[in-house]
Amino acid sequence: MTQRTPSELKFDPEDLIIRPVNRSDLPALEWHGVYLKYRRMFASIYRDSRQGRVLMWIVEHKNGELIGQAFVLLNSSEPDSANGQTHAYVFAFRIKPEWRSLGIGSYLMQFIEADLRTRGFTFVTLNVARDNVGALRLYQRLGYRVTGPRPGVWSFVDHRGRTVHVNEPAWHMQKDLRESD
């Protein structure tokens, strides 16, 4: 991971590429081991993306460094989150810590929203951990509204094949894309 001084951290949209994830990008999604535990989940989501069920986006700096990511579920068993027609669900929305507070997260979310509009979606939903106040403020600033609590109970199989249970109470948020046209 490259350490930068504040003077080196300048956000210029011309320096960024937002593009779909390729199979060769999967190791980079682990962020130098920070998200190694999600290796199997990333591979599964990638397979779903090849079937058109999920969109996987990465933000790449012109120097080739992966600095952010976001996935979008187009259809799920929770139709108020993603129903394949009007509602899509954003998850795994991350910007590397040294690139935060520069507007890159807002830029990525605006890209996702524009893409979903072109696909005919009218609502974007997401969950944000109740204790992630910074992310909650970002989403509210971008026009998302809390629609209710979510228990945030889920599980995944980690890179070693062990089932990991997660209990992360969250706020369910939604944005009407028709209001921001």
83-110 pLDDT, tens per residue? 999 999 999 999 999 999 899 999 999 9
Residue 32 has a pLDDT of 93
Total domains in the fold of the chain: 1
On the question of pLDDT at 81 being above 80, the answer is yes
C-alpha dihedral sign at 81, 83, 85, 91: positive
Token pair recorded at residue 141: 């600033």
CATH number at residue 148: 3.40.630.30
Q: Is residue 1 situated within a structural domain?
A: no
C-alpha dihedral sign at 100, 68, 83, 118: positive
Which domain range does residue 133 map to?
12-180
Q: Is residue 3 situated within a structural domain?
A: no
From 18, 14, 1, 7, select the one nearest 105 (Cα to Cα). 18
In angstroms, rounded to a whole number, what is the distance separating the alpha carbons of residues 78 and 92? 17
User: In the chain, pLDDT over 70 holds for what percent of residues?
Assistant: 93
Q: Is residue 81 situated within a structural domain?
A: yes
From 168, 106, 91, 177, select the one nearest 137 (Cα to Cα). 106
Q: Which residue has the higher pLDDT, 173 or 7?
A: 173
